């Protein structure tokens, strides 16, 4: 629209200058993450209320989860946060190749996470542990039958929280592909890399959510020998 | 007025309205002004639908027997009235129409921070709205707009899941709009436009956006959980399945009480503008009015439990929520006093926007004060879920939010379309709305105290006299609402053309042309003074000079 | 009390001890509302007329604000608000503090009817008969969705929630028949879930109770306790596979996770329907759930039985909320013929 906007690559016409645009993007992402916190916050509230209500059911439910796969995924996500941070770092230096390399590493790690998650879910479905009324038929002994109703509550919280988290991962991978494509096309320079930085915020947020989910869901029954009291 | 300018420009100047005439140029527009009009058009339709439902309710309640509608139909009617009015009219009303149109103009910006996101919000809103229309066509919902489980999750056999999905989606539209506004206010202010030079309309929208961003996700997750309980039969809220029905109430009101402030705070912002400009006075106690909006937004998050005094939550929780509720009442009182003080020694115009502003102060005072009745624990035990509650929130929502919306619409109408509405009809309809409104809702306070519960299809005969009065008022109110639709539409073509600043108002939006050009300003505005500095208004100076010349002649 | 004879009522009848206080409060708040709204509207009208715009070009003298005024109209409303809060909280406290020595009536809400059972076994549907001048406590639960028990003439209301017990109480002060409404939306026939509350002189109430062959709930509960085979495990000698329940009502119970819970109505109900939720220390979870096998009324009868074999002092010293057992029927009373 205006003349000077045409000179600056990446500057949208309604912004006065690059700083304003970058500030807008950053504040926007932080606000978005705030809404995400509130979004997950509702589930964390439900988690704490039901855990207080059914402590034994949560213990038994937690035993059903595979701590090793969950632990593996935790490591995978933490490393992916590191690679994403590196990608942001190299985008600031304007080193396109290294930036793309670390993005690719992040992409691979994110995909590994989802694949592991897929196998975890698959196992739950096969054991009839998905908490919907038409599939939920856990074996009579594991967990003990009298806990089935409470474990079902644990399991819907598990599926809702990890499912929502996985959805964020899938969206994140989609966005990452877009950012990589833009980077490949040479859209980012030393002066213009805010999409990379802003995406980094999102990726770290999704990572942090998992850092809370892992102990709350997987480790709750870890210190107790199998079978409970 | 700028008569020379109009005389020169024989062919219409390029503005946002005539910059493209195709349907595509509207549906793919990134211009915040056009998006504002898209919202205006859509929410007017939803208001009409909600209004038809309201009319059906009032007709049914003329007689104590449930003789016009069946109980099944009546329950759907009042539910859909609430859902349409709250989620598809009141929440988007002022922010999405006037807010969208005016925020960038008031900030001296070319657009909101994220124009594409802004358009996306409208589409998301429309997807949600269309799902709700499908819900209506496939039978509607009969749970009440509060969707309390386990009735909504297990027992109702209406379209609850679809309605839940619709509200979930619409919520994202609200979140995105709020986010967009907050970023816009943070980053898009013109040079020199510091926070305390902002018009109070902008402050009000900042507070509103904060609630939208923080509160809406919680209701989104709540209706999602409700939909899961309904479809998968997992125990979240139904105690038979292992859930907790009171948990739903907590989560629902954590959003839905602040949502009341989403509806009223923008209206308060409009009223501040109207009173300042219609009396040509700085708003008395600007800082207090600005911060009271923020205080309402923040405290508003701490009072949700006052909807649950009889719900079996602990007595001491009830006391805490009651106490905080009284704290949140204070900022509203501060605003009311400051507006009244602003009129003192002003230069008071009697034009339609001012009539609405004054009606707002009166009705909002009654609405707010009756809120104190409901926050009073021992009294609320009797009043909870009666028509007293219905009357109270209609005083705040219609007498507050809608009156403010109509006042704002009349005030900025010439800026939006470049033509003036017929003033005399404006005043008549404002008076009809005021009278009709009071006649409709004041009797409901009395019938509520008598014990008439809300959501009753049939009632005991001794309440009838009040219901008849209420229905009579509703007919008057309907006329008052239909009139502006007619004359505002008429004025699109036949209204008198206006210059940049027909009200001789202060504010950046009045310095650009009417209707404004697509990029809002042909120059970069620079601000070096506070809001509401009437000495700087060119049109007043010219008028004063003309009057001085006449006197000396 | 309708102020006019031709059915233009302004206030519901005052028929309980709360009614007068609530009405006074209500009137006081209206007076305050009228003073404020009339004051503000009058000020606006005076300003509008006095300061109407006289010339198109006039700019009035600007006033930025006044700190003293701002403080005044922040502090004064705040103090008034605190006063209203305190008044409201006081009434609420009375309404929600369980009364001593009250007549306990068990109420079940169900789409779309109200059932009540009196301590000596008399039952009624959509009506409630209560004696004049005696505290009456309603213990309520719902079999399906949310309801609310609302008696406008008594100014009392409480939600009736499935899965838990709620309660409300009142003391009727005027004989007569009053409205009973369901105030929490509960589905299609919500507005049909209404009935009457009849206040009788104590003598008439006794006579009303006597009309019919009734079995006290505690007696029915005792029969249920053996017919459902509860007594097999919860043996009276304390040697069963479950804890002994005599002399226990109202006392604290230690759980296997180290915490303590009062053995009250809520815990008994939960244990019958959901035995795994809270397990007593040193016991295994072997009890099956009785969900679907017992109705809410039967649970109430079992509770009444356990209460009747509870400690003599009602366990009041230990329990926080459980009211002293007012159940006069003794477990030793011979079982009357089954009412079904």
pLDDT per position as a tens digit, C10-33: 999 999 999 999 999 999 999 999
Nearest chain A CA: its distance from B145 CA (Å) = 20
pLDDT exceeds cutoff 60 at C279: yes
Find the chain A residues whose C-beta atoms sit closer than 8 A to any C-beta of B: 1, 12-14, 16, 20, 23-24, 27-28, 31-32, 34-36, 38-43, 45-46, 49-50, 53-54, 131-133, 149-150, 152-153, 156, 160
Nearest chain C CA: its distance from A53 CA (Å) = 8
> What ipTM score was computed for the predicted complex, to two decimals?
0.91
pLDDT exceeds cutoff 80 at C321: no
Cis peptide bond prior to A143, omega within 30° of 0: yes
Q: How far apart are CA B137 and CA B129, in angstroms?
A: 12
* DSSP type of residue C287: P
Contacts of A156 in chain B (CB under 8 A): 228, 232, 234-236
Residue contact C51–B457, C-beta within 8 A: no
Tokens (6 digits) for B55: 């009319």
Max avg pLDDT among A133-142, A216-225, B175-184, C311-320: B175-184
pTM of the complete model: 0.90
Contacts of B292 in chain C (CB under 8 A): none
User: C-alpha distances in angstroms, A57 versus A49, A149, A221, B497?
Assistant: 13, 8, 10, 72
Residue contact B535–C85, C-beta within 8 A: no
* Range of weakest confidence among A190-199, B46-55, B300-309, C107-116: A190-199
The pLDDT value given to residue B36:
96
Query: For helices B352-375 and B423-450, what crossing angle results, to 10°?
Result: 10
- For chain A, give the mean pLDDT: 88
> Is the Cβ–Cβ distance between C90 and B378 less than 8 Å?
yes
The pLDDT value given to residue B11:
53
Q: If you measure CA to CA, which chain C residue comes closest to A51? A: C277
Taking the Cβ of residue B222 and every Cβ of chain A, the question of whether any pair is shorter than 8 Å is answered with yes
Contacts of A1 in chain B (CB under 8 A): 110, 519
Regions of chain B with pLDDT less than 70: 1-12
Which residue has 């199998």 as its token pair? Answer: A226
> Is the Cβ–Cβ distance between B449 and C13 less than 8 Å?
no
Taking the Cβ of residue C288 and every Cβ of chain A, the question of whether any pair is shorter than 8 Å is answered with yes
Q: In what order do the strands lie in the sheet with C127-131?
A: C127-131, C195-200, C176-182, C147-151, C156-160
- For chain C, give the mean pLDDT: 85
Query: Which ranges constitute the DSSP H helices of B233-285?
Result: 245-279
The pLDDT value given to residue A227:
41
Q: Which of A21, A26, A31 should one mutate to test binding to chain B, selecting the residue with the greatest count of B CBs within 10 A?
A: A31
Taking the Cβ of residue B233 and every Cβ of chain A, the question of whether any pair is shorter than 8 Å is answered with yes
The pLDDT value given to residue A1:
40
As to burial, measured by CB atoms within 10 angstroms (0-12 exposed, 13-18 middle, 19+ buried), residue B155 is middle
The pLDDT value given to residue C333:
38
The pLDDT value given to residue C317:
40
pLDDT exceeds cutoff 90 at A219: no
Nearest chain A CA: its distance from C275 CA (Å) = 8
Report strand pairing: B496-497 vs C156-160: unpaired
DSSP-derived 3-state class of residue C206: helix
The pLDDT value given to residue A7:
58
Closest residue to A150, CB basis, from C257, C276, C287: C276
Residues 6+ apart with CB under 8 A from B283: B200, B272, B275, B276, B289, B338, B339, B342, B531, B532
The subunits that touch chain A, with at least 3 C-beta pairs less than 8 Å apart, are B, C
Contacts of C1 in chain B (CB under 8 A): none
* Binding-face residues of B in 337-396 toward C, CB within 8 A: 337-338, 340-341, 343-350, 358, 361-362, 365-366, 369-370, 372-373, 375-382, 384-386
> Is the Cβ–Cβ distance between C65 and B286 less than 8 Å?
yes
Position with higher pLDDT, A163 vs A228: A163
Nearest chain A CA: its distance from C299 CA (Å) = 20
Averaged pLDDT, C243-258: 84
pLDDT exceeds cutoff 70 at A6: no
The subunits that touch chain B, with at least 3 C-beta pairs less than 8 Å apart, are A, C
Averaged pLDDT, A66-72: 92
Q: How far apart are CA B404 and CA B406, in angstroms?
A: 5
The pLDDT value given to residue C4:
43
Contacts of A30 in chain B (CB under 8 A): none
Residue contact A132–B519, C-beta within 8 A: no
Max avg pLDDT among B236-240, C146-150, C215-219: C146-150
């Amino acid at each position: 629209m205006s003349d000077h906007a045409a000179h600056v690559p990446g500057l949208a016409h309604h912004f006065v200058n690059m700083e304003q645009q970058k500030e807008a993007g950053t504040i926007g992402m932080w606000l978005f993450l705030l809404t995400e916190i509130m979004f997950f916050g509702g589930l964390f509230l439900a988690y704490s209320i039901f855990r207080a209500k059914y402590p034994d059911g949560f213990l038994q439910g937690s035993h059903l989860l595979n701590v090793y796969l969950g632990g593996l995924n935790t490591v995978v996500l933490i490393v992916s946060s590191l690679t994403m941070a590196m990608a942001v770092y190299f985008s600031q230096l304007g080193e396109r190749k290294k930036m793309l390399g670390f993005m690719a590493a992040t992409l691979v790690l994110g995909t590994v996470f989802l694949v592991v998650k897929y196998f975890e879910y698959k196992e739950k479905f096969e054991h009839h542990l998905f908490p919907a009324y038409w599939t939920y038929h856990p074996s009579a002994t594991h967990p003990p039958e009298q806990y089935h109703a409470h474990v079902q509550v644990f399991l819907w919280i598990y599926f809702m929280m990890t499912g929502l988290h996985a959805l964020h991962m899938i969206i994140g991978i989609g966005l990452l592909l877009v950012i990589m494509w833009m980077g490949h096309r040479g859209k980012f320079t030393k002066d213009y890399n805010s999409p990379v930085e802003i995406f980094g915020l999102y990726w770290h947020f999704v990572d942090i959510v998992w850092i809370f989910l892992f102990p709350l869901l997987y480790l709750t029954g870890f210190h107790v020998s199998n079978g409970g009291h | 007025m700028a008569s020379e300018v109009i005389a020169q420009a024989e062919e219409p100047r390029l503005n946002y309205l005539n910059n493209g005439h195709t349907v595509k140029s509207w549906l793919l527009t990134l211009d915040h002004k056009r998006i504002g009009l898209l919202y205006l058009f859509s929410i007017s339709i939803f208001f009409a639908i909600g209004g038809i439902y309201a009319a059906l309710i009032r007709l049914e309640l003329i007689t104590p027997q449930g003789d016009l509608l069946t109980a099944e139909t009546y329950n759907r009617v009042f539910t859909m009235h609430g859902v349409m009015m709250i989620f598809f009219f009141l929440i988007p009303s002022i922010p999405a129409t006037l807010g969208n149109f005016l925020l960038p103009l008031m900030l001296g910006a070319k657009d909101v921070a994220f124009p594409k996101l802004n358009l996306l919000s409208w589409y998301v809103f429309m997807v949600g709205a269309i799902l709700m229309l499908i819900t209506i066509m496939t039978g509607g919902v009969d749970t009440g707009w509060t969707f309390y489980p386990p009735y909504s999750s297990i027992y109702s056999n209406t379209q609850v899941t679809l309605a839940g999905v619709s509200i979930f989606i619409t919520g994202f539209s609200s979140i995105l709009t709020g986010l967009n506004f907050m970023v816009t206010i943070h980053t898009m202010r013109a040079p020199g436009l510091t926070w305390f030079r902002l018009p109070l309309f902008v402050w009000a929208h900042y507070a509103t956006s904060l609630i939208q961003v923080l509160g809406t996700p919680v209701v989104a997750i709540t209706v999602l959980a409700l939909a899961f309980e309904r479809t998968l039969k997992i125990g979240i809220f139904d105690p038979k399945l292992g859930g907790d029905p009171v948990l739903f109430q907590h989560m629902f009101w954590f959003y839905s009480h602040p949502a009341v402030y989403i509806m009223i705070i923008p209206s308060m912002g409009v009223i501040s503008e109207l009173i300042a400009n219609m009396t040509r006075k700085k708003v008395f106690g600007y800082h207090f009015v600005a911060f009271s909006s923020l205080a309402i937004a923040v405290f508003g998050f701490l009072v949700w439990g006052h909807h649950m005094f009889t719900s079996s939550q602990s007595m001491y929780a009830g006391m805490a929520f009651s106490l905080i509720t009284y704290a949140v009442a204070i900022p509203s009182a501060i605003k009311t006093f400051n507006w009244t003080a602003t009129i003192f020694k002003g230069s008071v115009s009697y034009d339609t926007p001012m009539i609405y502003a004054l009606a707002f102060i009166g009705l909002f005072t009654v609405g707010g004060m009756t809120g104190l009745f409901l926050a009073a624990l021992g009294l609320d035990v009797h009043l909870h879920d009666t028509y007293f509650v219905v009357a109270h929130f209609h005083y705040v929502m219609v007498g507050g939010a809608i009156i403010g919306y109509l006042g704002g619409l009349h005030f900025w109408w010439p800026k939006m379309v470049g033509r003036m509405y017929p003033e005399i009809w404006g005043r008549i309809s404002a008076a009809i709305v005021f009278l009709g409104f009071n006649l409709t809702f004041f009797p409901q306070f009395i019938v509520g105290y008598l014990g008439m519960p809300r959501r009753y299809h049939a009632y005991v005969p001794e309440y009838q006299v009040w219901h008849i009065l209420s229905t009579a008022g509703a007919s008057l109110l309907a006329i008052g609402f239909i009139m502006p639709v007619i004359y505002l539409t008429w004025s699109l073509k036949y209204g008198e053309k206006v210059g940049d600043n027909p009200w001789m108002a202060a504010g950046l939006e009045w310095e650009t042309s009417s209707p404004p050009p697509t990029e809002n300003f042909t120059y970069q505005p620079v601000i070096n003074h506070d809001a509401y500095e009437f000495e700087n208004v060119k049109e007043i100076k010219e008028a004063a000079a003309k009057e001085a010349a006449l006197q000396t002649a | 009390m309708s102020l006019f004879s031709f059915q233009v009522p302004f206030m519901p009848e005052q028929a309980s001890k709360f009614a007068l206080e609530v009405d006074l409060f209500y009137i006081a708040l209206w007076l305050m509302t009228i003073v404020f709204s009339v004051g503000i509207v009058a000020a606006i009208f005076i300003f509008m007329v006095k300061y109407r715009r006289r010339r198109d070009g006039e700019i009035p003298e600007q006033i930025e604000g006044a700190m003293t005024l701002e403080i005044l109209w922040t502090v004064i409303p705040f103090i008034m608000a605190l006063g209203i809060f305190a008044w409201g909280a006081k009434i609420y406290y009375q309404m929600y503090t369980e009364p001593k020595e009250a007549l306990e009536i068990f109420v079940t809400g169900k789409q779309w009817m109200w059932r009540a059972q009196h301590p000596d076994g008399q039952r009624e549907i959509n009506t409630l008969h209560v004696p004049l001048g005696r505290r009456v406590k309603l213990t309520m639960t719902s079999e399906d969705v949310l309801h609310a028990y609302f008696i406008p003439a008594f100014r009392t209301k409480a939600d009736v929630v499935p899965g838990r017990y709620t309660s409300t109480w009142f003391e009727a002060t005027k004989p007569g028949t009053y409205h009973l409404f369901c105030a929490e939306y509960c589905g299609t026939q919500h507005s049909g879930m209404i009935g009457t509350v009849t206040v009788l002189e104590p003598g008439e109430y006794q006579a009303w109770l006597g009309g019919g062959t009734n079995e006290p709930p505690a007696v029915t509960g005792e029969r249920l306790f053996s017919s459902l085979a509860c007594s097999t495990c919860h043996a009276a000698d304390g040697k069963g596979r479950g804890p002994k329940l005599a002399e226990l009502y109202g006392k604290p119970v230690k759980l296997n996770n180290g915490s303590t819970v009062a053995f009250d109505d809520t815990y008994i109900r939960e244990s019958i329907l959901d035995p795994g939720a809270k397990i007593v220390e040193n016991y295994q979870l072997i009890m099956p759930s009785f969900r679907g096998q017992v109705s809410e009324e039967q649970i109430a009868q079992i509770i009444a039985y356990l209460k009747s074999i509870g400690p003599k002092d009602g366990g009041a010293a230990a329990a926080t909320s459980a009211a002293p057992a007012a159940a006069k029927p003794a477990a030793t009373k011979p079982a009357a013929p089954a009412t079904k």
